[in-house]
Amino acid sequence: MPLLTAAVVVLTVLVLVDLALTLAVVRHLRAGARPTATPVPELVGTRVGSPTPHFTASGEDGVELVAADLAGTPTLLAFFSTTCEACVEHAPALVAEVPRLAAAGIVVVPVLVGDGDPLELAPALRHAGPLVREEHGGEVSTAFGVRGTPSYVLLGADTRVAAAGLVLQDVVSSAATVR
């Protein structure tokens, strides 16, 4: 029995030493760690506070959308691409957010960029607001410097950019300040 007790004590000491060494190594690695990921490039080139750039676009319903027409109405422009797999996941979140945005007086205008609709985004986006379709490099996405989707631009009633980004919740969290 004394041999078994000695073995347990020795084993316990070894485990504690191993734990202390592991923690020391982790602390050392964290202290010297440098970010290894490359920074995410800006995928929306519009800066907060800048005036709405000029653009003209036609909605699917034939109504023309002109930048000047947005004055006085806070507007969320939601950019999606016909070939964007992530957009398929983000479209329902946009549609779900529409009632809250409407209650805040914000109009949602989804912009679907690209030919055709292989991922069938248009039907979902029509539930968010009047759908604008344009080719890659179209006037609306170019005006706002959109280089990746999904992207969102929130315009205040004063037609200045209130928020812009890739995450819907981050952009609409500014909704209280755009009236």
Q: How far is it, in rounded angstroms, from Cα 55 to Cα 68?
A: 8
Answer whether residue 88 is part of any domain. Answer: yes
In the structure, what pLDDT confidence band is assigned to residue 25 with cuts at 50, 70 and 90? confident
The reply to whether 67 and 130 lie within a common domain is: yes
The reply to whether 8 and 77 lie within a common domain is: no
In 3D, which of 78, 97, 79, 67 has the Cα closest to residue 173?
Answer: 97
Answer whether residue 47 is part of any domain. Answer: no
The single residue listed with the structure tokens 């519009």 is 46
102's tokens: 């409407």
* Residue 11: domain span: 1-34
Give me the CATH number covering residue 106.
3.40.30.10
The pLDDT value recorded for residue 177 is: 59
Q: Is residue 41 within 8 Å of 163, Cβ to Cβ?
A: no
The single residue listed with the structure tokens 């806070």 is 74
The pLDDT value recorded for residue 38 is: 42
Q: Is residue 112 within 8 Å of 131, Cβ to Cβ?
A: yes
Number of domains in the chain: 2
The reply to whether 107 and 165 lie within a common domain is: yes
Specify which of 77-81, 115-119, 163-167 reaches the highest per-range mean pLDDT.
77-81
The reply to whether 73 and 129 lie within a common domain is: yes
pLDDT-wise least confident of 7-16, 26-35, 90-99: 26-35
The reply to whether 86 and 156 lie within a common domain is: yes
- The stretch 41-59 carries a mean pLDDT of 83
Global model pTM greater than 0.85: no
The reply to whether 64 and 28 lie within a common domain is: no
Q: How far is it, in rounded angstroms, from Cα 179 to Cα 175?
A: 8
